[in-house]
């Protein structure tokens, strides 16, 4: 069984001490590959270095809402440059976030997101989209709809999908896929499970968003890691009444299609 963690941050300091063991545990759990997006210009080199170090590691390059307040138009060239690296498979992590402590105004966030959506379309790369709440989901989908990515087959992914079925349908219509993360494993996540049960299996991928939000039963560990994709796959399998092997196969194929990477990775 092969799984792909389509979104994790192994460059995070939480993994500094034991990244090697984390990568080994991922492989042992069948998670042969993972995509590590950048958040800022500061960590793009680290993310690219990890992609060079680990065969199973791919990178996303992009600027996250929290780090886009001092954006200059010329910055898009820096991302374009970084995206030339052979292990870069996406533009991300990008998106919108109106949380109170985010410095960038809505207008700045819109401009930075639109520039990065256009770059992704230019480079034929999918986008890894971050959202905070219903308002950002709606605005993000509106901007994608107005961008040249709209309707493309490999437009991108709504990472850490936790919205309602209406948002899911709008995203699917735009060509996006939905990435299911740890919360789907929580016994209390009834609403999310109900939405996931209605999603077409050929349009979902799996992720941990490590080190954030460990899935059940790892919530006490305070840190998620790529190996945990397996319990997320098991939860999706239970919701869809399928075997976990089937969910692994389908979601791995979906991720390979999305990121244009080989159909099998090396265990």
Binding site for Zn ion (CB under 5 A): 93
Nearest distance from residue 96's CB to Zn ion, in Å?
Answer: 14
Nearest distance from residue 93's CB to Zn ion, in Å?
Answer: 5
Nearest distance from residue 92's CB to Zn ion, in Å?
Answer: 8
State the sign of the Cα–Cα–Cα–Cα dihedral 185, 181, 2, 203.
positive
Choice between 116 and 244, CB closer to Zn ion: 116
Nearest distance from residue 74's CB to Zn ion, in Å?
Answer: 25
Choice between 176 and 244, CB closer to Zn ion: 176
Q: In the 8-state DSSP scheme, what is residue 215?
A: P
For Zn ion, which residue has the nearest CB?
Answer: 93
Nearest distance from residue 159's CB to Zn ion, in Å?
Answer: 6
Choice between 57 and 244, CB closer to Zn ion: 57
Choice between 5 and 93, CB closer to Zn ion: 93
Sheet holding 156-158, edge to edge: 3-5, 31-37, 57-61, 88-95, 127-130, 156-158, 176-180, 204-206
Q: In the block, which residue shows the tokens 């709606």?
A: 138
Are 154 and 124 in contact, with CB atoms under 8 Å apart?
yes
Largest CA-CA distance found in the chain, in angstroms, rounded: 49
Are 118 and 150 in contact, with CB atoms under 8 Å apart?
no
Choice between 64 and 218, CB closer to Zn ion: 64
Choice between 9 and 230, CB closer to Zn ion: 9
Nearest distance from residue 215's CB to Zn ion, in Å?
Answer: 15
148 in helix, strand or coil? coil
Q: Where are the alpha helices (DSSP H) in the chain?
A: 19-28, 44-53, 75-82, 106-123, 134-146, 165-173, 190-198, 229-240, 244-259
Nearest distance from residue 34's CB to Zn ion, in Å?
Answer: 12
Relative to beta strand 204-206, strand 127-130 is unpaired
Choice between 7 and 170, CB closer to Zn ion: 7
What backbone torsions phi and psi does residue 129 show, to the nearest 5 degrees? -100, 125
């Amino acid at each position: 069984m092969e799984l792909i963690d389509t979104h994790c941050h192994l460059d995070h300091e939480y993994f500094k001490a034991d990244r090697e063991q984390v990568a080994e545990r991922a492989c042992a759990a069948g998670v042969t590959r993972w995509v590590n997006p950048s958040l800022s210009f500061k960590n793009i080199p680290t993310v690219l270095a990890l992609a060079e170090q680990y065969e199973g590691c791919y990178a996303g390059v992009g600027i996250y809402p929290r780090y886009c307040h001092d954006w200059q138009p010329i910055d898009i060239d820096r991302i374009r440059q970084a995206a030339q690296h052979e292990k870069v498979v996406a533009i991300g992590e990008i998106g919108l976030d109106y949380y109170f402590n985010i410095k960038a105004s809505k207008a700045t966030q819109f401009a930075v997101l639109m520039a990065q959506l256009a770059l992704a379309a230019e480079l034929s790369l999918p986008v890894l989209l971050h959202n905070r709440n219903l308002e950002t989901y709606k605005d993000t989908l509106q901007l994608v709809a107005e961008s040249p990515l709209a309707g493309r087959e490999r437009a991108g992914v709504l990472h850490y999908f936790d919205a309602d079925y209406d948002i899911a349908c709008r995203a699917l219509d735009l060509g996006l896929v939905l990435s299911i993360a740890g919360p789907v494993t929580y016994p209390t996540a009834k609403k999310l499970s109900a939405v996931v049960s209605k999603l077409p299996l050929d349009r979902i991928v799996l992720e941990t968003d490590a080190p954030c939000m460990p899935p059940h039963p790892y919530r006490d560990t305070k840190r998620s890691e790529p190996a945990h994709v397996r319990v997320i796959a098991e939860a999706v399998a239970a919701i869809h009444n399928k075997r976990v092997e089937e969910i692994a196969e389908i979601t791995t194929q979906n991720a390979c299609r999305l990121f244009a990477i080989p159909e099998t990775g090396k265990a």
